[in-house]
Structure 1
Amino acid sequence: MSNHRTVRCRGPYGGEGAQAVGTDCSDPAVFEVARYDLPSLPVCPIHLGPSLLVASRVLWPPEIRLIGRP
Protein backbone atom coordinates (compact mmCIF):
# COMPACT_ATOMS: atom_id res chain seq x y z
CA MET A 1 0.00 0.00 0.00
CA SER A 2 2.87 2.41 0.56
CA ASN A 3 3.58 2.95 -3.15
CA HIS A 4 0.17 4.64 -3.55
CA ARG A 5 0.92 7.34 -0.96
CA THR A 6 2.18 9.64 -3.69
CA VAL A 7 -1.19 9.50 -5.48
CA ARG A 8 -3.14 12.70 -4.90
CA CYS A 9 -6.87 12.99 -4.37
CA ARG A 10 -8.87 13.77 -7.52
CA GLY A 11 -12.22 14.17 -5.81
CA PRO A 12 -14.95 14.90 -5.66
CA TYR A 13 -15.63 15.32 -9.38
CA GLY A 14 -12.87 13.29 -11.01
CA GLY A 15 -12.78 15.25 -14.25
CA GLU A 16 -10.74 13.92 -17.16
CA GLY A 17 -8.35 15.90 -19.36
CA ALA A 18 -9.13 19.62 -19.46
CA GLN A 19 -12.03 19.08 -17.06
CA ALA A 20 -9.59 17.88 -14.36
CA VAL A 21 -8.06 21.34 -13.86
CA GLY A 22 -8.93 22.58 -10.39
CA THR A 23 -10.88 19.48 -9.38
CA ASP A 24 -8.24 17.85 -7.22
CA CYS A 25 -7.06 18.52 -3.68
CA SER A 26 -3.54 18.28 -2.32
CA ASP A 27 -4.25 15.47 0.16
CA PRO A 28 -2.95 11.94 -0.50
CA ALA A 29 -5.53 9.47 -1.81
CA VAL A 30 -6.61 6.74 0.60
CA PHE A 31 -9.37 5.12 -1.47
CA GLU A 32 -10.05 4.28 -5.11
CA VAL A 33 -13.61 4.44 -6.42
CA ALA A 34 -14.29 2.18 -9.44
CA ARG A 35 -15.92 3.82 -12.47
CA TYR A 36 -17.43 2.51 -15.70
CA ASP A 37 -15.17 3.04 -18.76
CA LEU A 38 -12.92 5.44 -16.80
CA PRO A 39 -9.88 4.91 -14.61
CA SER A 40 -10.52 4.43 -10.90
CA LEU A 41 -10.87 7.69 -9.01
CA PRO A 42 -8.33 8.14 -6.17
CA VAL A 43 -9.86 10.11 -3.29
CA CYS A 44 -9.03 11.21 0.23
CA PRO A 45 -11.39 10.41 3.16
CA ILE A 46 -13.00 13.86 2.95
CA HIS A 47 -13.93 13.47 -0.73
CA LEU A 48 -15.01 9.81 -0.60
CA GLY A 49 -18.69 10.55 0.09
CA PRO A 50 -19.02 13.48 -2.33
CA SER A 51 -17.27 11.53 -5.10
CA LEU A 52 -19.82 8.72 -4.80
CA LEU A 53 -22.57 11.26 -5.35
CA VAL A 54 -21.15 13.58 -8.03
CA ALA A 55 -18.23 11.92 -9.86
CA SER A 56 -18.89 10.74 -13.38
CA ARG A 57 -19.67 7.08 -14.11
CA VAL A 58 -19.30 5.73 -10.57
CA LEU A 59 -20.45 2.11 -10.40
CA TRP A 60 -23.52 1.37 -8.33
CA PRO A 61 -23.39 -0.27 -5.90
CA PRO A 62 -20.03 1.43 -5.43
CA GLU A 63 -16.75 -0.46 -5.46
CA ILE A 64 -14.27 1.13 -3.07
CA ARG A 65 -10.69 -0.08 -2.52
CA LEU A 66 -8.35 0.95 0.28
CA ILE A 67 -5.02 2.04 -1.26
CA GLY A 68 -3.38 3.85 1.64
CA ARG A 69 -3.69 4.94 5.22
CA PRO A 70 -4.70 8.40 6.41
Structure 2
Amino acid sequence: MGVHRNARCRGPYGGEGEDAGGTDCSDPAVFEVVRHGRPPLWVCPVHLGPALLLAPGVLWPPVIRLIRHP
Protein backbone atom coordinates (compact mmCIF):
# COMPACT_ATOMS: atom_id res chain seq x y z
CA MET A 1 0.00 0.00 0.00
CA GLY A 2 2.94 2.36 0.51
CA VAL A 3 3.59 2.78 -3.23
CA HIS A 4 0.34 4.72 -3.66
CA ARG A 5 0.74 6.91 -0.58
CA ASN A 6 0.63 10.17 -2.58
CA ALA A 7 -1.82 9.03 -5.27
CA ARG A 8 -4.64 11.45 -6.02
CA CYS A 9 -8.14 10.59 -7.19
CA ARG A 10 -8.50 10.30 -10.99
CA GLY A 11 -12.24 9.51 -11.02
CA PRO A 12 -14.75 9.14 -12.32
CA TYR A 13 -13.40 9.02 -15.89
CA GLY A 14 -9.73 8.49 -15.21
CA GLY A 15 -6.70 10.15 -16.68
CA GLU A 16 -3.98 8.43 -18.64
CA GLY A 17 -0.74 8.81 -16.78
CA GLU A 18 0.31 10.96 -13.87
CA ASP A 19 -0.08 14.32 -15.65
CA ALA A 20 -3.42 13.71 -17.39
CA GLY A 21 -6.60 15.50 -16.46
CA GLY A 22 -9.83 13.69 -15.85
CA THR A 23 -11.03 14.97 -12.52
CA ASP A 24 -11.30 18.05 -10.38
CA CYS A 25 -11.05 15.91 -7.25
CA SER A 26 -7.93 16.46 -5.19
CA ASP A 27 -8.76 13.86 -2.53
CA PRO A 28 -6.31 11.04 -1.89
CA ALA A 29 -6.99 7.82 -3.79
CA VAL A 30 -8.17 4.94 -1.61
CA PHE A 31 -9.05 2.35 -4.27
CA GLU A 32 -7.46 1.06 -7.45
CA VAL A 33 -9.86 -0.11 -10.17
CA VAL A 34 -8.31 -2.53 -12.67
CA ARG A 35 -9.01 -1.74 -16.33
CA HIS A 36 -8.49 -3.66 -19.57
CA GLY A 37 -5.80 -2.19 -21.82
CA ARG A 38 -5.41 0.89 -19.65
CA PRO A 39 -3.55 1.76 -16.48
CA PRO A 40 -5.39 1.17 -13.19
CA LEU A 41 -7.69 3.96 -12.10
CA TRP A 42 -7.04 5.38 -8.62
CA VAL A 43 -10.16 6.81 -7.00
CA CYS A 44 -11.46 8.18 -3.71
CA PRO A 45 -14.54 6.65 -2.01
CA VAL A 46 -16.83 9.31 -3.54
CA HIS A 47 -15.78 8.47 -7.10
CA LEU A 48 -15.61 4.67 -6.77
CA GLY A 49 -19.22 4.07 -7.86
CA PRO A 50 -19.17 6.52 -10.79
CA ALA A 51 -15.80 5.15 -11.94
CA LEU A 52 -17.19 1.61 -12.07
CA LEU A 53 -20.06 2.83 -14.26
CA LEU A 54 -18.37 5.50 -16.41
CA ALA A 55 -14.62 4.92 -16.75
CA PRO A 56 -13.48 3.18 -19.94
CA GLY A 57 -12.06 -0.33 -19.77
CA VAL A 58 -13.35 -1.28 -16.32
CA LEU A 59 -13.51 -5.06 -15.98
CA TRP A 60 -16.81 -6.71 -15.12
CA PRO A 61 -17.11 -8.03 -12.54
CA PRO A 62 -14.90 -5.21 -11.31
CA VAL A 63 -11.53 -5.79 -9.69
CA ILE A 64 -11.03 -3.27 -6.87
CA ARG A 65 -8.02 -3.07 -4.57
CA LEU A 66 -7.63 -1.09 -1.39
CA ILE A 67 -4.44 0.98 -1.79
CA ARG A 68 -4.74 3.21 1.27
CA HIS A 69 -6.74 3.27 4.46
CA PRO A 70 -9.38 6.04 4.37
TM-score under structure 1 length normalisation: 0.86
C-alpha distance after superposition, 1:8-67 (max 9, x if no partner)? 0000001336xx425241000000000000010000000000000000110000000000
Is 1:37 matched with 2:41? no
- Runs of 4+ displaced beyond 4 Å: none
Residue 55 of structure 1 aligns with an amino acid whose one-letter code is: A
Q: Which consecutive residues of structure 2, in runs of 5 or more, have no partner in the other structure?
A: none
Aligned-residue CA RMSD (Å): 1.6
Q: In structure 1, how many angstroms separate the alpha carbons of the residues matched to 2:22 and 2:35?
A: 20
Match of 2:8 in 1: 8
Partner of 2:28: 28
Q: Which has the higher helix share?
A: 1
How many residues are aligned here?
A: 68
Work out the percentage of aligned pairs sharing the same amino acid: 72
In structure 1, runs of 5+ residues without a counterpart are none
Check whether the contact 1:12–1:43 (CA below 8 A) recurs between aligned residues: yes
